[in-house]
Structure 1
Amino acid sequence: MNNQNVQHVKITTADPSAIGLFGLAMVTFVASSQKLGLTEGLAFILPWAIFLGGFAQLFASIQDAKHNNTFGSTAFGAFGLFWLGVGASWLIQLGVFGEQLAADADSRQLGIAFTGYLIFSLFMTIGAMETHKVLFAIFVLIDFLFIGLSLSSFGIMHEATHMLAAVSEMLIALLSFYGSAAAVLNGHFGREFLPVGKPFGVFKK
């Protein structure tokens, strides 16, 4: 009988949450500026939606999958695809794919999509309780963002719910910048340079 030596190769990858949170921070920062009336139009939001909101978070999702991190991979993947979907919707609205498609757009369908993401965000908020408090706060704000987006898309108290979405999105951006900085600097210095808060410890054994 031949003895076979089996070697296991472990591939170590960096924590992708820093680039994922930075992507989220940038796209929400730019998009909220338009909702708050600080800027106008969608043209210069689109590149950030595609590359930072979409591709950066999808990259983080793939890297988190290598860490066997189902929560992080799902969160970054779902929100990366969300921003690609939103970007494509804006292209339709702007008539890039033709006047017929733009004329056929029904904002209530976006409201349905936002409601679906609200459902997703709510159960991910429960999961975020066992990550750290900064990420949990980001998810709570995402919940309010999707409440605002859903209601405003259906024309329910449009001005108030639009403002709810705008303020929530700006706060998401600011907290995500902080979370990204913490992920980079805490790992870089090998200590808690920027505190993010311990998990709540409610659900895990």
Structure 2
Amino acid sequence: METTVDPVFKNEVRISDTTANPGALGLLAFGMTTVILNLHNAGLFGMGSVVFAMGIFYGGIAQIIAGIMEWKKNNTFGMTAFISYGSFWIVLVFMILMPALGWSDALPTQALAAYLALWGLFSLVMFVITFRLSKALQVVFGLLVLLFLLLVVGIALGSALIVQIAGIEGIICGLSAMYTGLGEVMNEVYKQKIVYLG
């Protein structure tokens, strides 16, 4: 019995995706920027250029680039998360800087609380989705939901103590994202599960 090949598919070329995993970059950009902002929230230093620069370039632009790369990987969750949180950082920086530059009125406390609450809701749904993903991502998103909750309550009540507690919790959240991102890099380079990600 002869096998015939349809001439249409004779010269078919299959292209496999050999591009790098952008998830590590996105997680590190998110994690390190979150640590920097929450060192400020915890009271270690004032709001200034280190927060703004990290927010625009690493937490913002680098995460958006990672999200675009996740689109190419056909990863809807990664694309949505990184482009969304990358935009979050850029918007947050401009919300703080625009009044200082005279481009808008002072940022109302209620508006900032509403902004953070909306992102908390988004993060809650993303957290639920992580139950189909790794344990490490569940930890990152679970801590992120708690961070937004603490910030909303602290800002709405005008409580410096709650914001400071949020800062400490936010540092832990950022470090968990860094752990996950660096773990992905290490496991890939060593071609074995050196870092547990679940």
| Conserved? CA contact 1:144–1:164, under 8 Å | no
Deviation, structure 1 residue 157: 5.9
Letter in 2 for 1:25: G
Matches within 5 A, 1:33-48: 33-48=39-54
* 1:145-179 deviations in Å (ceiling 9; x for gaps): 1112222232x262343133212210012112211
Which position in structure 1 is the counterpart of 2:127?
Answer: 125
Which position in structure 1 is the counterpart of 2:3?
Answer: none
Cα RMSD for the two superposed structures: 1.8
- Alignment of 1:4 with 2:8, yes or no, is yes
* 1:8-59 deviations in Å (ceiling 9; x for gaps): 4333211111111110121111111111111122222100001111011111
The alignment covers a number of residue pairs equal to 191
Matches within 5 A, 1:12-161: 12-93=18-99, 95-96=100-101, 98=102, 101-103=104-106, 105-154=107-156, 156=157, 158-161=159-162
Alpha-carbon separation, structure 1, partners of 2:109 and 2:91? 14
Secondary structure of residue in 2 paired with 1:72: helix
Which position in structure 1 is the counterpart of 2:187?
Answer: 186
* 1:168-205 deviations in Å (ceiling 9; x for gaps): 210012112211110101001111011112xxxxxxxx
Which position in structure 2 is the counterpart of 1:171?
Answer: 172
Deviation, structure 1 residue 70: 0.8
TM-score, normalising length: structure 2: 0.89
Which position in structure 2 is the counterpart of 1:203?
Answer: none
Secondary structure of residue in 2 paired with 1:44: helix
TM-score, normalising length: structure 1: 0.86
Letter in 2 for 1:164: I
Q: Which has the higher helix share?
A: 2
Structure 2 segments unaligned to the other structure (5+ residues):
1-5
| Conserved? CA contact 2:42–2:166, under 8 Å | no
Structure 1 segments unaligned to the other structure (5+ residues):
198-205
Alpha-carbon separation, structure 2, partners of 1:175 and 1:23? 12
Which position in structure 2 is the counterpart of 1:200?
Answer: none
Q: Which deviates more from structure 2 when the two are superposed, residues 184-193 or residues 21-30?
A: 21-30
> Percent identity between the aligned chains?
27
